[in-house]
Structure 1
């Protein structure tokens, strides 16, 4: 991979890592359900120029509900229920292992020895994080974040059944699906102002963060990532995604002064190491697993 494309891959990973910081900022202006709806209302604008993938709505809707609506509703609620952004950027990587497990059950794809080693390492890291639960990291927040990762993994499996779909067009058209269920959740559970009122009252930081999540972290990042995946093997591109949790932890430390007990840092390091063992390419072996990244 030439330096230019390596730079683009690293750029996308940085964008996805900073999305956790942007989410925390945006949640000061919007509820989790409102932010989910707004993110994808922004992201779906390109449907005006991109043709719909050759997939029926009965295929698109379950993917959109799991890969986007379920994942981000659960993740954004986790932020408001005791899940620090830095930790969330790492625990979300558990979707890699959930996907491997689901692929083994649903698609009969037997995990390799490397994948099993990676899962064991990451589970040890998750246990270390669980042992560090305290006032800033709650069991509810951790559970919601893991449920978010599981929803992401289900979406990965559904997308995996349609490998020929154009990635950018698919992501944009899938963005039409989350706003309705997100707005329904907002109507049922939000006790504050409606989305139009929240939009009008949002701070400039909240607006920039929401635009970043919809336009940059979703549309632009997926456009670049999808282009790279058409030019190089998944095993070549996948390791760059490991930059995202590192950026998420560092960005949260700078933006919010996050500092964690040593055991939690050990746990996060083990999860990243487990993902690295799972997705890093091995010369002479088959291509590594490529998740749908942030």
Structure 2
């Protein structure tokens, strides 16, 4: 990966780390499923009207939109609304990185170096420490929101594979059209779970002080978190194997936890900080290893090389006189006179 692409990855890290503060602001006013539907609906209308459809197979666009848009944000917003700390959510959501690597190996035939395997293993160990700390808060308050966030991370991983397999010639178009898929399913979920009046009541008070802060969070999520962040992320996924790009997401908690501490006053426990440090160490170790692609069976290197002259005598070229066995053996020898008895 070039220095330019690494800088792009770090830019996404900052944008997505601050994105959790914006999400928190939005969820202070809007119901979670309705807020998730609203963030994509605001983008879907202008995309349909003004953005050309990306030149990608529809099935990969659907996988991208379902995993990244519907599953990730439905479960992430629900986790935050049920008590998941904002900074901690930015860490646990990065389970998408090991999920992406495992899915890439199982479904795309990618392979990892030993260093990457160890790095991802260390990162998973850090997340286990976080889970132990959350378990002390109880199953309903601590464990359930974390499990919801893990499901969100799995959805993100499937979205990563969808964007990678789409191989878009214009990653921004793919990112924008992904936003067309989630609004209706998410709004239907909101109608069933939150009720038809929840979203309407939130919109009717959108221009109060609290509502304006929520709208500011919505604007950040849409413009910087989705258009800029996801567009750059999709670009990297189209250029490199998933196991190379995914570890960058493990750096998002550095920004997320720090911003939550400064802005929201969240004070993570010692075990949470240790777990976060372990996750980051594993991330850096995984990023240092280069990932490879599995050799396709159609590659000539997968087949034994035939001898240089194999099949030459049987090759037929129209208009060309074939060589007789005598010619192949060289000029004829003088006959040897038979001895008289």
Short-chain TM bin:
0.7 to 0.9
| Contact 1:43–1:215 (CA under 8 A) maintained in structure 2 | no
Question: What secondary structure, in the 3-state scheme, does the structure 1 residue paired with 2:111 have?
Answer: coil
Partner of 1:291: none
Alignment of 1:16-95 (within 5 A): 16-44=16-44, 45-95=46-96
Tell me how far apart the structure 2 counterparts of residues 36 and 151 of structure 1 sit (CA, whole Å): 14
Tell me how far apart the structure 2 counterparts of residues 98 and 20 of structure 1 sit (CA, whole Å): 21
1:278 Cα deviation after fit:
1.8
Alignment of 1:1-294 (within 5 A): 10-44=10-44, 45-133=46-134, 134-135=136-137, 138-191=142-195, 193-202=197-206, 203-224=211-232, 241=249, 243-280=251-288, 282=289, 285-286=290-291
Residues 1-46 of structure 1 deviation map (CA, whole Å, 9 limit, x = unaligned):
789x877654432221011111111101111111111111223334
Tell me how far apart the structure 1 counterparts of residues 244 and 42 of structure 2 sit (CA, whole Å): 30
| Contact 2:68–2:156 (CA under 8 A) maintained in structure 1 | yes
1:58 Cα deviation after fit:
3.8
Normalised to the residue count of structure 2, the TM-score between the two structures is 0.74
Residues 133-177 of structure 1 deviation map (CA, whole Å, 9 limit, x = unaligned):
144961100100001101111121222222244211001001001
Q: How many residues align?
A: 284
| Contact 1:43–1:218 (CA under 8 A) maintained in structure 2 | no
| Contact 1:82–1:142 (CA under 8 A) maintained in structure 2 | no
Question: What secondary structure, in the 3-state scheme, does the structure 2 residue paired with 1:51 have?
Answer: coil
1:244 Cα deviation after fit:
2.4
Question: What secondary structure, in the 3-state scheme, does the structure 1 residue paired with 2:166 have?
Answer: coil
| Contact 2:164–2:237 (CA under 8 A) maintained in structure 1 | no
Tell me how far apart the structure 2 counterparts of residues 66 and 233 of structure 1 sit (CA, whole Å): 18
Q: For the aligned residues, what is the CA RMSD? A: 2.9
Tell me how far apart the structure 2 counterparts of residues 12 and 152 of structure 1 sit (CA, whole Å): 15
- Between 1:251-260 and 1:169-178, the stretch displaced more is 251-260
Higher relative contact order (CA 8 A, sep 6+): 1
Structure 1 gap ranges (5+): 289-294
- Between 1:112-121 and 1:178-187, the stretch displaced more is 112-121
